[in-house]
Structure 1
Amino acid sequence: MTRQKIIILFGGQSGEHEVSLNSASSVLKAIDKEKYEVETLGISKSGQWHWGIRPEQWQQDPTLQGILVNLVHDPSNPRFIALDGSTLPQDGTFDLIFPVLHGPFGEDGTIQGLFEMANIPYAGSGVLGSALGMDKDRMKAVFTEAGLPQAPYLTVLRTTLQKMMEKVLHDIEHSLGYPCFVKPANLGSSVGISKARNREELINALHLAAEYDRKIVVEQNIVGREIELSVLGNEDAKASIPGEILPSKDFYDYEAKYIDTGSRLVIPAPLDQEVVKSLQEKAVAAFKAVEACGLSRVDFFVTEGNQIYINEINTMPGFTQISMYPKLWEASGIPYSELITQLIELGFQRFRDSRSRKISL
């Protein structure tokens, strides 16, 4: 049987570059080599595309280079070419790209748009699902439309912050109160997120978030357990059993996720069966609300009285073997290697479906 050629794409220009290297390294080790012929392609922090570089090489030395390549944007024959004129394996052709990219320019619909224009099959969500999943402001608007319960929030533009700081502070204090969470609208892995307990912390948090995005989301604090579920599929998506985050810090920030090993994951989360069923239904509803495809992790808060609040959806969650997304599916009966295979097949399925439609007379 001829093996399908899969390109694992990783790295990127976002603040989650290193997280992507960890995810891609795990995928590369676990992907079924009998079924797939694998090539690696890394995007450096400065935006160059390096054919053949492996994620663990950049983890050891970020200055290493592969073969610099460009994508030939030819819908009838999409492929990569080497900028130095050298020949790539199979002339740079492939069957599908598996983008293990987190954050802006990888998880926000931009690179998905490039793949769509070039007629390339790829794993994960499309342009709309990726864009809505990345933009917390628009995500929350869609969740509201879908009737999903969430914490009260306000969205502030950086320009408004610069012109009317006092009004912004007044609105937040009177609408949301303290403590509250301040987040850049378009970043992941808790980068740029702060918990503000007073006005001084709020001002600092707003300035920090504004460094990362023109749009800032401020949320009322919800006292509850942090529960996450994994979703897998396209139109027929299903949810895993839930897991619980027990953060080592005040909240599950970047350091607690990737540096401090004191945080714990409890799988399955100890919850009443009725709550589990409601969480699974809401996770799939959130997945469909943003039109996600392939995979997503959906995060919730569950209060002492078993009230459920959705926090966010992540359309390309951390994907190491010890990350919550694959661990939840492993506990639900899908091993890590099989999960990768299913995501590749879902990518092909979505590609066939999208190419079956007419876009002109």
Structure 2
Amino acid sequence: MARATVAVVFGGRSSEHGVSCVTAGGVLGAIDRDRYDVVAIGITREGRWVPAPTDPADWAIIDGEMPEVRDAADTVLAPTRAGERAWSVLDGDGTVSPLAEIDVVFPVLHGPYGEDGTVQGALELVDVRYVGSGVLASAAGMDKQFMKTAFRAAGLPVTPDVTLLRGDRVADRIADVEALGLPVFVKPARAGSSMGISKVSDLATLEAAVADAAKHDPKVLIEQAVSGREIETAVLETVDGPRASVPGEIITGGGHDFYDFEAKYLDEGAVNLVSTADLPPELERRVRDTAIAAFRAVGAEGLARVDVFVTDAGDIVINEINTMPGFTPTSMYPRMWAAAGIEYPELVQTLIETALARPVGLR
């Protein structure tokens, strides 16, 4: 039997381009090359699809610098007809040559133009199987306003918020923000990796915080702050349905007021990532049940990480669902599964095999 060919697609047009490249390095290093043929496809910041190196070392953070997909003379061409498996390369002089017959795509794109259902939609159009959630779940998971709408409809607890759309004036919504109470968190509605997030404790700084968030997304969310422990749970789709890991915990220090981008990726030692949170058994069960309920509420597939706050009173409040979480070997998602006995290469193989077994089309 011929080996399946996996295409790892990464980079992209969002502000999380570098994070996506780092995640790709982790996945490329974990795929069993004796079991699968591997193709790497990078998407430049301008949106061009190019052949990329499959060596994980090319996608590592070096001296605090995030890796980047560089432009190239060749362009990757996806199939244009449903059922085709052949992908091609267009070189600089207009010659088209074969790239590979791809069986499944592993899209490790973060943020808009990748994690938000756009790439998933392109793959659906030509019946290409892929790892992770479909169009609707990816879009809902990316857009925090509609994510919360889905959770509220499912009876799940979320933080109160105010949404500002393009053209809305901060001054016109001050009363609504005041009703949330201070402090509040200001964040782009459709971004991740803590890009553009600010903690606001004085309304005098609100407009500047909104402007900073709007650099990443014209839709801005202003959320009531929740005092509590930051707990994360990994959800993995299996043949028996979604399964939740033992929850982990984020403990932020090192002068960081919250789990921001620098604390996540650049400031070593600023965060203590506890892959097994110390929770009473009943509370742990409720956190895991909440994670699976959130997964089902948006119709997620494959994998997701569900982040919640656990208050001193033992209440659970969902912060967000991430349908393509950070996936380096040291990221929380694989670390939580490692604590449950599923090591990183096995996790990657499970996701690939689940995607290969999934039917194309409506499901």
Identify whether the pair has TM-score above 0.5, normalized to the shorter chain. Answer: yes
1:138 aligns with 2:146: yes
1:88 maps to a residue whose letter is: P
Unaligned 5+ runs, structure 2: 61-66
Counterpart secondary structure, 2:213: helix
Confirm or deny: 8 A CA contact 2:151 2:294 kept in the other structure: yes
CA distance in 2, matches of 1:289, 1:150: 13
CA distance in 1, matches of 2:154, 2:50: 41
Match of 1:69 in 2: 76
Structure 1 outlier segments of 4+, above 4 Å: 58-62
Question: What is the TM-score when the length of structure 2 is the normalising length?
Answer: 0.92
RMSD between superposed Cα atoms in Å: 1.7
Match of 2:63 in 1: none
Question: What is the TM-score when the length of structure 1 is the normalising length?
Answer: 0.92
CA distance in 1, matches of 2:162, 2:68: 42
Match of 1:87 in 2: 97
1:325–1:27 Cα change, 3 Å? same
Aligned length: 349
Match of 1:216 in 2: 220
1:69–1:239 Cα change, 3 Å? same
2:2 maps to a residue whose letter is: T
Unaligned 5+ runs, structure 1: none
Confirm or deny: 8 A CA contact 1:13 1:46 kept in the other structure: yes
Aligned ranges 1:113-192 → 2 under 5 Å = 113-161=121-169, 165-173=170-178, 175-192=179-196
Confirm or deny: 8 A CA contact 1:23 1:318 kept in the other structure: yes
CA distance in 2, matches of 1:120, 1:70: 14
1:329 aligns with 2:329: no
Counterpart secondary structure, 1:189: coil
Confirm or deny: 8 A CA contact 2:8 2:39 kept in the other structure: yes
1:186 maps to a residue whose letter is: R
* 1:303-350 Cα shifts (integer Å, max 9, x gaps): 112111110000000000000000001101111101011111221233
Q: How many Å apart are 1:52 and its aligned residue?
A: 3.6
* 1:43-69 Cα shifts (integer Å, max 9, x gaps): 111111111434643666754637322
CA distance in 2, matches of 1:62, 1:185: 25
1:25 aligns with 2:35: no
Aligned ranges 1:1-361 → 2 under 5 Å = 1-54=1-54, 56-57=57-58, 63=70, 65=72, 67-84=74-91, 85-89=95-99, 92-161=100-169, 165-173=170-178, 175-233=179-237, 236-248=241-253, 249-261=256-268, 262-350=270-358, 352=359, 354-355=360-361
* 1:101-156 Cα shifts (integer Å, max 9, x gaps): 11111100000000000110000000011000000000001111111112211111
* 1:238-266 Cα shifts (integer Å, max 9, x gaps): 10000000113111011111111121111
Counterpart secondary structure, 1:22: helix
Confirm or deny: 8 A CA contact 1:57 1:64 kept in the other structure: no
CA distance in 2, matches of 1:228, 1:356: 30
- The 10-residue stretch of structure 1 (146-155 or 65-74) with the greater mean CA deviation from structure 2: 65-74
Counterpart secondary structure, 2:235: strand
Q: How many Å apart are 1:12 and its aligned residue?
A: 0.7
Counterpart secondary structure, 1:160: coil
Q: How many Å apart are 1:27 and its aligned residue?
A: 0.8
CA distance in 2, matches of 1:340, 1:314: 17
- The structure where helix makes up a greater share of residues is 1
Q: How many Å apart are 1:203 and its aligned residue?
A: 1.4
Counterpart secondary structure, 1:72: coil
CA distance in 1, matches of 2:361, 2:262: 42
Counterpart secondary structure, 2:177: helix
Identity among equivalent pairs (%) = 46
Confirm or deny: 8 A CA contact 1:52 1:67 kept in the other structure: no
CA distance in 2, matches of 1:150, 1:7: 36
CA distance in 1, matches of 2:16, 2:200: 23
1:57 maps to a residue whose letter is: D
CA distance in 2, matches of 1:237, 1:66: 42
Confirm or deny: 8 A CA contact 1:53 1:65 kept in the other structure: no
